[in-house]
Amino acid sequence: MRYTCTLASIYMRHLSLVKSLSHLQEEQKHSEEVALDAVGIALTRGTLSEFFGGASSGRTSLALNLLAKLTALGEVCAVVDSCDAFDPCSAAKSGVTLDSLLWVRCGGNLEQAFTAADYLVQAKGFGAVWLNLGGLPMQKLRMVPRTYWYRYRTRIKETPTLFVVTSEEPVAGSAAHRSFEIVRKDTVWSGLGRYKLLREFHLGLYSRKHFYGPQTAAKIEFDYSDV
């Protein structure tokens, strides 16, 4: 489902989509971490995590992998699409259940994107809130006060929500519980001749919270032949 970013209505009109907090808290007892098997990491509920890297680095694929896992479990998730870059066809091919996804389009408006994310994390019932900042000028993002990130961290603490941020460079600073840099390494194509299909790409995943250990080699594979 898709909604244009009208901030006054996001919080009031669409929270009926979200499971009750008490229900999700019961689920949280059994799953305080969500594993991303494709890259061998786990994200902790009630925390802020960021994935950053250049264009086509794979950060969007990782976010879709997370949404696919949570929506398959029946959880409702949200995407704050700052630059209208979200592609529902690719999301569906990645396994995301679109009926369980709230899509907020912000048309490149940075202030609306941050305000929308603020409303959504206050709802406390989403499995994940993905703030996609890809495409926004880094000069603007560097000017965002650090207090925004600490406010997000405080509001999702002790809730079942995963707050995930994707961008070209790290933006959340010490407010991020986990911070990963994604570097695209190798690309594998299928087919012969001039026209080929992307089969897979290999990623290097580097933790910027060094106490989490060494880098992880990752492989993500989706079939886009029908897109």
Which superfamily does 2-180 belong to?
A: P-loop containing nucleotide triphosphate hydrolases (3.40.50.300)
Q: Is 80 exceeded by the pLDDT of residue 90?
A: yes
**Which is higher by pLDDT, 54 or 1?**
54
Write down the pLDDT at residue 94. Answer: 92
Write down the pLDDT at residue 58. Answer: 81
Mean predicted lDDT score pLDDT of the chain: 81
Residue 200 β-bridge partners: 188, 221
Q: Which of 37, 56, 75 is nearest to 134 (CA)?
A: 56
d(CA 139, CA 62): 25
- Indicate the pTM of the whole model: 0.77
Write down the pLDDT at residue 191. Answer: 81
Q: Is 50 exceeded by the pLDDT of residue 22?
A: no
User: Where are the chain's structural domains?
Assistant: 2-180
Write down the pLDDT at residue 204. Answer: 81
